Every structure is written in structure tokens, then in C-alpha cells.
Structure 1
Amino acid sequence: MRVLPNERALPRESDGAPLPDSTSELPPIIRRAEVVAFALVALLLITVVAVLYAAKAFFLPVVTAFVVGTMLSPAAGLLERHRIPRAVSAVLIVGAVGAGVAFIVGLISSPLMEWSTRLPELGSLLRDKLHVFDRPLALWQQLQSMVGGSDAFSTAPFQMPKFDWVQPAVEFLSPTFTEFLLFFATLVLFIASWKDLRRALIMTFADHASRLRTLRILNEIEGHLGGYLLTVTMINLGVGAATGIICAVTGMPNPAGLGALAATLNFFPIIGPVAMFVILTVVGVIAFSTLGAGLIAPLAFVGLTFLEGHFVTPAIIGRRLELNALAVFIALAFWTWLWGPMGGFLSSPLLIVALILKDHLMPDDSPQLPQD
């Protein structure tokens, strides 16, 4: 066979010979199944959040009853060991808790009702007390005019905000009678039937390992939530008593009510102490003739909350279960946005439950990084 001069001889590969491996690194490929799975999980979370938000009137009292009932289950078990039937124990525990809540609400509501009838008078009195800030405001207006800022606020006198927000705030903070009834009925039935619910949940799984893991999860959730409730309640009662003593020593009006309010608000992390500081500041400014005398109790309360938040609570609760401050803040913001003040109360217990489930269902078996 004759080969033409202008033809190139191409190398021939033997049939079936493997191609040489490429030395270049290929980028990671995101598979379509992973994208679909991620999208489905995201849609599921959005749907759950939307349902929890839309059906707040049902889910909030039920979830609160489940969480509080899990916290109070050790007390029911203690009474049951003393040969008191669990149904009777549930009624006694819920009655005692309701009586304590009613007592605290009575201490808080009495001065609150008295002050609510004097809101216009107290508003004008507070406006007169705030004349001490006239000079700083005038200096600010001069500085604003020097830098060429707008003088829209220079001619407007300082006015107190209107009190149109009081009724919507009370409606937002106060649950309805139906929600109260649903909460207490669910709480009593949950505590009374908790042992049967535990057994049914454990026996749902067929193999021994899953049953044992479920039992460990339930025991740890019950132990941690019960210890959390007892510890936080004792700490908050101590904060309330100390606040009442501070208010009595500094001459604040109604120290018992302010102490009960401090104990109640301290159940809400971060938000509660800040709100209590604002309340003490307003009450002190109105009750005393000078601004310095009115700020003694709020500043003392700041010192008290600093000691409680940085030394007492971490030393007691930190040994039981470590909670990241960022996680606590994000959980508080999310559940408060979703369910209001009661969501803020449930944020820490729900975070504890989530951490326990994460530790048992997704154990961290990967090698740890060396410490710095």
C-alpha cells in the first residue's frame, strides 16, 4: 500500500487499552440528589415554622405543658414512691405551681393596677424630671446645626410618648382563657400519664439498641430539665429577694412587688434583666426628687445581675450542661419572635433538648483538633 506524502501517520491504539489517568484534580461535584435533599429539608423547616407560627394558640400551650411537665415529672415520681397515686400527684403539683404563680401575680398586679390608673399623671411627672437632659439636647442641636444637619428636631419640643401601646402590649403578653385551660389540662394529663408515654415510646422500636438509646435520651432530658427548673427557680427567687431588699433599703415604693417582678422576668434570659433595669430606672426617677437618688436601685440591680450572670449561674448550671452564649441568644431571639414572651421562656429548655438529641443521635466520632 502506497502512502501519500501529505498524509500524517496517526498513532493507533490497541483495542481495549485503558486511557491514561489524568493528573489534574477535578473540582468536587454537587450531585443532583444532594441538592434535592437539601431543598426538601429547607422546605420542611419552613413549613414547620409556618405551622408553629400560624397555629400558635394550639402549639404554644401544648409544647409549654410538655416541657413543664417533663420538668415536674421527677417530683411526681418522688410522690409516687411515697405511695401517692400519680394522678393525684399530678393534681397536687399543678395546684402548688398554680398557687405559687397566682401569689407572684398578685404581688405584681396590685402596684401595676395602681400605676396604670395614674399613667397621665406619672407621664407628666416623668417629663418634668427629664428636664435635666434639656442642656445636652440643646448642645446636640447646636452641634447638628454647626455641621449643617437638618434642624427639623430643633423647633420640636420634647414630648413623652403616648400610652396607646398599653392595651396592645397587655393583649400580646396575656394569653387567652382557652390557652390557659388547654395548658393546665394538658399539663395534668401529661404528668399523670408520663410513665405510660415513656413505655410506649420506648417499645415503638423493635431492636434492643434503639430501645436502650431512647431510654437514655428520655432519662437525660428528664434529669436535665428537672435540674434546670429547680436550679433556675432557686436562683431567680434569690435574685427577686435581693432586688426586694435593694428596693427597700434605697426607699423604692413597693419593694415586694418589684422583687417579685425581678424574679419573674429573670426566667427570660437577657431580655428579662434589661426590662427590669428599665422599670427600676423609671420608678426611681418618678419616686425620688433627684435623678441621682433614683438611679441607686437600678445601678445596684446591675451589679446584682452581673454577679448572678457571671459567677452564680455559670458555677451551678455550667457543671450540668454547658450552653454556648451565642446559641442561647439565637434561640432566645427565634422563639421570642415565633411565640412571644413564652417562647423566650421555652428557648433554653428547648435548646437543652436539642443538644441532648444531637449528642445521642449524631455522636461526634471524628478526630478532635489539638488544643491551642
Structure 2
Amino acid sequence: MPPVIRRQEVVAICLVGLLIICIITGLYLAKAFFLPITMAFIVGTMLSPAASFLERFRIPRALAAVLIVITATAGATFMVGLIGSPAVEWSSKLPELGSMLKEKLHVFDRPLALWQQLQSTIGGPDNLGSLHLPKIDWVQPALEFLSPTFAEFLLFIATLIMFIASWRDLRRALIMNFGEREWRLRTLRILNEIEGHLGNYLLIVTMINVGVGIITGLICAITGMPNPAGLGALAAILNFIPIIGPVAMFAVLVVVGIVSFPTLGGALLAPAMFTVMTFMEGHFLTPMIVGRRLALNALAVFLALAFWTWLWGPMGAFLSSPLLIVALIVKEHLMPDDAPQLPEG
């Protein structure tokens, strides 16, 4: 009898593994459909409290959904507009900027020569004799990777409006789908907690990122960096992506600083101040504001970020933390941690 049970458990594990692989494969291959739908569901859940607030002023929920989406789209368009003009200007000067950057990085020729000599002494490869900048033929593929198609954007906007407008009916249908009262109450608690947590997450993260953008703009203005408003807007947008966003912004500030300033010290002043600011924000300000209920394990955040970025790119990186919050809430309600705690020490 025990071997039969063991064999059944192995078969069950294999079937679950195959199901997970099939789901991940489907999400990857059908990204053009599932990404905008998932994005609309997550963002719609975040914005649903705003629609409920507008309903208190006797504004129909469908009209409230349209107003909320228009307002959010206008804000995003404004932020992109601050970045777009200087980005187009810099992209038109990429060959010139590349040669200028290469010329200014000659300060690293001597350390690279010493490194090459050390490698030759110990018998390693000696292919770092000079600093070579990558070619710029990556720009077009990068833009295609970062920019959603018009069909995906249209699907996202349409789904977002209809989701916010019909969220109450969807909630009621999900709850009444269960026959037992206990499961109905559990589903209601899960949905309420997801809506509350995601709404708070969007509000808090947006306020923090706007503050990061303003401070970054001030840092760039004080240090004499070009287009501080655009760099501040870029910092605010990139900070929505955990870990990757601040690192990418640091790299942007380094490149802009090296191109714009005659000395390496002046070029690294703004990136250094930005690093101090993001360290204070990430280790002190955000944990203090977010609090224990929205705090996430650093390893879980990193693994979720890596997985969803691999699966869906930058938009997947943006969705990684909200999806992790949803998964943890569902896990807490469906699999409560009632096991006895291990003694400390």
C-alpha cells in the first residue's frame, strides 16, 4: 500500500509541474494578450477605490472610470513629454555623443593597461587593452522591446475602463460563485484585502516616486546637469521598477555627467548624490511609510522581479511587486500559517 501512495504522490507532483510549465509557456507565447489584460486587472484594482470615492459625489461608476483613466493617462503623458524632447535630441546626436564619451573615458586606459599586464603575467586572456564602446545598433531593438504596440495599448485602456466600471459586479459574481457561506466570506475578505493593499501600494509608491523625481531634478539642477526636469521625470518613472529602475537611472546620470562635464569628479557628483538619496529612500523612508503590512521579503521581491521581467519585460517588472502582494494575500487566506513556531536561538 505505501508504494502505491508514493507513486500517486509522484504522479501528482509531475502533473502539477507540467501544468505550471504549460501556464508559463502560454503566458510567454501569448504575451500580447495576457500582458495588457493582467496590467488592466492590476491597475484597475489599484484605481477602484478612486472610483468608489467619486461615486460618493453621485458620479456614475462608468463615468468615474473614464475620468480616472483620462486623468492617469494625462499624468503619464506629461511625464513622458518631459523625457521625450531631450531623449529625441540626444538620440539624434548618438554618434557624436559616443565619440565624445569614448574620448573622455581615456582616463581608464592606464588602469586597463595595468590589468592587461597582470592578465598576461598570470596567463589569462589579454583582450582588454583599450576601452571599446558598444555599437549603437541596439537602439531600435531596445525601443521595440520597451514600447507596447498600439493594439496592446488599446486593449489595455479598453479593459481598464470596463474593469473599473464593472468591478462591483465582478466582485459579486466571484463571491456568489461559491455555495458555502464560509467560502463566500473568505473570498470577500481576500478581494477586500487585495483591493485595499493594491490601492495603498499605488498611492504610497506614487507619492514616494514623485518625491524621488523632484529631489533628483533638484540634484541635477544644483550640480549643473542638463535638462534637470527630464532627468527628474525619468527617475520618477524608473523608480516604479524595483532594483532595476534606480540602477538604470544611476547609469543614465553617469553617462550624462561624463558627456556634460570636463572632469570625472564633476560628472560623478550627481550620480553620487542620487545614490545616497535612493539608499536613504530604499532603506529608511519606504519601509517607514509602507509599514509592516506592505513590507515584502527582499529575496521574494528579487525573484519575482527576475521572473516577471524575463517573462514580460519592463511591464512585467512593474507588475512583479503587485502580483507578489496578491499571491501572498491569497496564500495567507487559503493556507494560513497555523503551524507551531520554532523556538528562537
Over the residues paired in the alignment, what is the CA RMSD in angstroms? 1.3
Query: Residues 246-270 of structure 1: CA distance to partner in whole angstroms, max 9, x if unpaired?
Result: 0000000000000000000000000
Aligned residue for 1:289?
A: 262
Q: Which amino acid aligns with 1:65?
A: A
Query: Residues 341-372 of structure 1: CA distance to partner in whole angstroms, max 9, x if unpaired?
Result: 00000000000000000000011111111233
1:240-251 residue pairs with structure 2 within 5 A? 240-251=213-224
1:115–1:79 Cα change, 3 Å: same
Aligned residue for 1:121?
A: 96
Question: 236-245 or 140-149: which moved more?
Answer: 140-149
1:168–1:129 Cα change, 3 Å: same
**Count of residue pairs the alignment pairs up:** 344
Match of 1:40 among 15, 23, 32: 15
Q: SS where residue 187 of structure 2 aligns?
A: helix
Aligned residue for 1:12?
A: none
Aligned counterparts of 1:125 and 1:214: Cα–Cα separation in 2: 60
Question: 31-40 or 157-166: which moved more?
Answer: 157-166
Aligned residue for 2:313?
A: 340
Q: Which amino acid aligns with 1:55?
A: A
Question: 321-330 or 92-101: which moved more?
Answer: 321-330
Q: Which amino acid aligns with 2:281?
A: E
Aligned counterparts of 2:139 and 2:7: Cα–Cα separation in 1: 53
What are the ranges of 5 or more consecutive residues in structure 1 without an aligned counterpart? 1-26
1:219–1:150 Cα change, 3 Å: closer
Tell me whether 1:71 sits opposite 2:46 in the alignment: yes
Tell me whether 1:199 sits opposite 2:167 in the alignment: no
Aligned residue for 1:62?
A: 37
TM-score by length of 2: 0.97
Q: Which amino acid aligns with 1:243?
A: T
Residue 32 of structure 1 and its aligned partner are, at CA, apart by: 1.1
Aligned counterparts of 1:153 and 1:349: Cα–Cα separation in 2: 42
Larger radius of gyration between Structure 1 and Structure 2: 1
Query: Identity of paired residues, percent?
Result: 72
Alignment check: 8 A CA contact 2:55 2:61 kept: yes
Aligned counterparts of 2:44 and 2:11: Cα–Cα separation in 1: 38
Query: Residues 78-135 of structure 1: CA distance to partner in whole angstroms, max 9, x if unpaired?
Result: 0011100000000000000000000000001110000000000000000110010011
Tell me whether 1:230 sits opposite 2:203 in the alignment: yes
Q: SS where residue 293 of structure 2 aligns?
A: coil
Tell me whether 1:146 sits opposite 2:107 in the alignment: no
Match of 1:132 among 95, 107, 115: 107
What are the ranges of 5 or more consecutive residues in structure 2 without an aligned counterpart? none
Q: SS where residue 340 of structure 1 aligns?
A: helix
1:185–1:286 Cα change, 3 Å: same
**Higher helix fraction (1 or 2):** 2
Aligned residue for 1:87?
A: 62
Tell me whether 1:190 sits opposite 2:159 in the alignment: no
Aligned counterparts of 2:8 and 2:166: Cα–Cα separation in 1: 43
1:151–1:73 Cα change, 3 Å: closer
Residue 151 of structure 1 and its aligned partner are, at CA, apart by: 4.0
Query: Residues 123-152 of structure 1: CA distance to partner in whole angstroms, max 9, x if unpaired?
Result: 000011001001101111222222233445
Match of 2:79 among 92, 104, 107: 104
